[in-house]
């Protein structure tokens, strides 16, 4: 941690949209972009921003968006803008370049998440930041255990990252400890769906690590250590306590799952 951000972490929330394509969820909700689709009675981006803002670890909040006006019109977000807590950064042509644009001039460390990570609570963002700081990682990725994800969503995903110490799912949350480690954002080029597109692992991590990954050689820590040597800084996997951290709103099915989990959460609160 450095003092440039007063001991806090900068949050980078990715809220872009695909060029020339109206997301089906946005079309159904009658809005211009997916991130403002209401989930559990609140726009996705508002829910994520409010939970990020409530984490004691988070300082400045940066929202990377192609169409910020629709987001800025949300009263709670407008309030954070007026307070100087939140700023908008323009989205670029793809995810990685949008990360670079959003991080320009930011204070490190940076926690990156997405506008559809609606199930993360303030304590989840705090947990991820605390674990990343404690690990001393240059960069890190949040993972959830296979059994925890299945417990949260029994009818959910069928594919997981399989290591010798178990199966894991990506949580769409990343840690960038310093400017040098920003190059780790290249891992996300093309969306980061490595299980579906093996060539992305080869491009980001190297062919040998691709083989290790699919043959399940070693623990996740061993694979990340190999990748760290390729990148020249420490890249670590950080396991979250809750399986819901791996569930984001991608389509109608995950929209319904997210709403059900939000209702359940409210009932037990």
Q: Using DSSP, state whether 90 is helix, strand or coil.
A: strand
Q: What is the pLDDT of residue 20?
A: 63
pLDDT of 166:
85
The dihedral through the CA atoms of 17, 22, 27, 31 has a sign that is positive
| Residues 71, 78 contacting (CB under 8 angstroms) | no
pLDDT of residue 97: 83
- For 63, what's the count of Cα atoms within 13 Å in the CB-facing half-sphere? 32
Residue 143: burial class (beta carbons within 10 Å; 0-12, 13-18, 19+): buried
Alpha-carbon radius of gyration of the chain: 18
Phi, psi of 242 (to 5 degrees): -125, 135
Residue ranges of the chain with per-residue pLDDT less than 70: 1-6, 19-20, 158, 184-221, 223-233, 269
What does the pLDDT read at residue 216?
A: 55
Residue 217 is predicted with a pLDDT of 52
Token code pair at residue 100: 């670079």
For the segment 32-73, what is each residue's pLDDT rounded down to a tens digit?
A: 899 999 999 999 999 999 999 999 999 999 999 999 999 999
Tell me, what's the pLDDT at 181? 81
**Helix (H/G/I), strand (E/B), else coil: 160:** coil
Cα–Cα distance list, 9 to 4, 61, 62, 76 (Å): 10, 9, 11, 21
Cα separation, 135 vs 59, in Å, equals: 20
Strand residues in 177-254 grouped as ranges (E): 235-239
- Entry pTM: 0.84
Nearest-angstrom CA–CA distance, 88 and 231 = 30
Residue 138 phi/psi, 5-degree rounding, is -70, -40
Q: What local confidence, expressed as pLDDT, does residue 267 receive?
A: 86
pLDDT value, residue 194: 44
Question: Residue 2 and residue 128: Cα distance in Å, rounded?
Answer: 17
């Amino acid at each position: 941690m450095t003092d440039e951000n007063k001991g806090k972490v900068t949050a980078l929330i990715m809220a872009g949209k695909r060029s020339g394509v109206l997301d089906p969820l946005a079309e159904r909700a009658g809005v211009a972009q997916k991130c403002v689709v209401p989930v559990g009675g609140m726009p996705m981006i508002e829910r994520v921003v409010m939970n990020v803002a409530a984490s004691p670890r988070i300082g400045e909040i940066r929202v990377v968006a192609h169409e910020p006006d629709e987001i800025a019109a949300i009263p709670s977000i407008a309030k954070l803008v007026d307070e100087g807590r939140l700023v908008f950064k323009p989205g670029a042509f793809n995810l990685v370049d949008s990360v670079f644009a959003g991080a320009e001039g930011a204070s490190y460390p940076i926690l990156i998440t997405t506008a559809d990570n609606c199930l993360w609570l303030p304590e989840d963002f705090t947990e991820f930041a605390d674990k990343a700081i404690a690990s001393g990682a240059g960069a890190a990725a949040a993972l959830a255990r296979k059994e925890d994800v299945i417990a949260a969503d029994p009818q959910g995903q069928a594919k997981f990252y399989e290591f010798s110490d178990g199966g894991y799912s990506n949580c769409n949350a990343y840690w960038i400890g310093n400017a040098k480690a920003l190059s780790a954002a290249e891992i996300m080029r093309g969306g980061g769906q490595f299980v579906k597109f093996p060539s992305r692992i080869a491009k980001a991590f190297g062919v040998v690590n691709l083989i290790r990954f699919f043959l399940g050689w070693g623990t996740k820590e061993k694979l990340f250590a190999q990748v760290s040597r390729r990148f020249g800084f420490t890249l670590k996997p950080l396991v979250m306590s809750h399986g819901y951290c791996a569930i984001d709103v991608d389509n109608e099915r995950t929209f319904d799952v997210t709403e059900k989990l939000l209702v359940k959460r409210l009932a037990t609160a």
